Amino acid sequence: MSALILIELNGSEVNASSRAAITAASKLSDSIDALVLTNDSSNSESVSKLAGINSVKMIVDDSLENVNVEVASKLIADVMSGYKYLVSGSSTYSKNILPRVGALLDVQPISDVCEIKSNNTFVRPLYAGNIMATVESSDETIIMTVRATAFEHSGDGGSAEVEVLSITIPESNSTFISLQESQSERPELTTAARIVSGGRGLGSKENFTLIEQLADKLDAAVGASRAAVDAGFISNDYQVGQTGKVVAPQLYLAVGISGAIQHLAGMKDSQVIVVINNDPDAPMSRMADLVWQTDLFGALKELNEYQV
């Protein structure tokens, strides 16, 4: 009943959602291996240090510098024989790859697992998180993504053996052309301890910089509602919600966001929710720990000028 974790790297570091996947897998199996697809064998260093990992399987090839999902899914499907579980953090990376692995192995992937009830029964959200469904898998091999906000992030302290797999890289019909990544000095949205998030109430891209200023002051990540993204105030990398990022910071400050269910689906697990909104009936206010019912521009000016 061994488990394989598909590791996602940020540069050479193991990302938070892969660390959550290790914790989730530890509830399913005592024997957990990590799989890394990379062009750089020195990446084994950060993976082998992970606590709770027995061994690290690496597939190293220049073509894996930028992962081609068709190639990645075939490689993973090949490695899966002998494993009962394939577990990965819920991210764009895994959501792109795991359904293809599921198709190749003819099994049903289970996405966004928030709780593990038994070795084949899991809790996952439905209808934008309004329903938590308990699902039971009857597949021989179980493939799942887990929410990074629902499991502790496994730390370092291990010393797993590293094995470089000798495996032929399959042909693919698609070719990698380029990667455009947004660069930011701010904390990463999905793992930030504090998030300042802005909505349509900001009114313009220029005004949205007030959110960025406050985020910098609080050493927080910037988030946004889909309405703010659609209006062009900020790029969609920052969208929180059902079709954006799922976050669970210690502090979520929602400014000019009404609190549509699709937005709440992405941030309702935040520990402390503070709302700035001039509408006392905004749904966002109903789930807030603290509501500042006021004009957001006055509030942001005051907060941005506040000297600690």
Ligand X SMILES: Cc1cc2nc3c(=O)[nH]c(=O)nc-3n(C[C@H](O)[C@H](O)[C@H](O)COP(=O)(O)OP(=O)(O)OC[C@H]3O[C@@H](n4cnc5c(N)ncnc54)[C@H](O)[C@@H]3O)c2cc1C
- Site residues (vs ligand X, CB under 6 A): 199-201, 225-228, 239-244, 256-258, 260, 262-263, 266, 277-279, 282, 295-297
Decide whether 137 or 197 has the Cβ nearer to ligand X: 197
Decide whether 83 or 208 has the Cβ nearer to ligand X: 208
Least Å distance, CB 223 to ligand X, is 9
Q: Work out the burial of residue 252: count CB atoms within 10 Å of its CB; fewer than 13 is exposed, 13-18 middle, 19 or more buried.
A: buried
Decide whether 22 or 257 has the Cβ nearer to ligand X: 257
Least Å distance, CB 246 to ligand X, is 9
Decide whether 13 or 289 has the Cβ nearer to ligand X: 289
Least Å distance, CB 244 to ligand X, is 4
**Among the residues of 12-56, which ranges form H helices?**
16-26, 44-48
Least Å distance, CB 191 to ligand X, is 18
Decide whether 227 or 253 has the Cβ nearer to ligand X: 227
Least Å distance, CB 281 to ligand X, is 9
Name residue, tokens 């905004």. Answer: 282
Decide whether 38 or 258 has the Cβ nearer to ligand X: 258
Least Å distance, CB 202 to ligand X, is 8
Least Å distance, CB 256 to ligand X, is 4
Decide whether 36 or 273 has the Cβ nearer to ligand X: 273
Instruction: Report yes or no: 50 and 44 within 8 Å, Cβ to Cβ.
Output: no
Q: How far is CA 269 from CA 29, 148, 250, in A?
A: 27, 12, 9
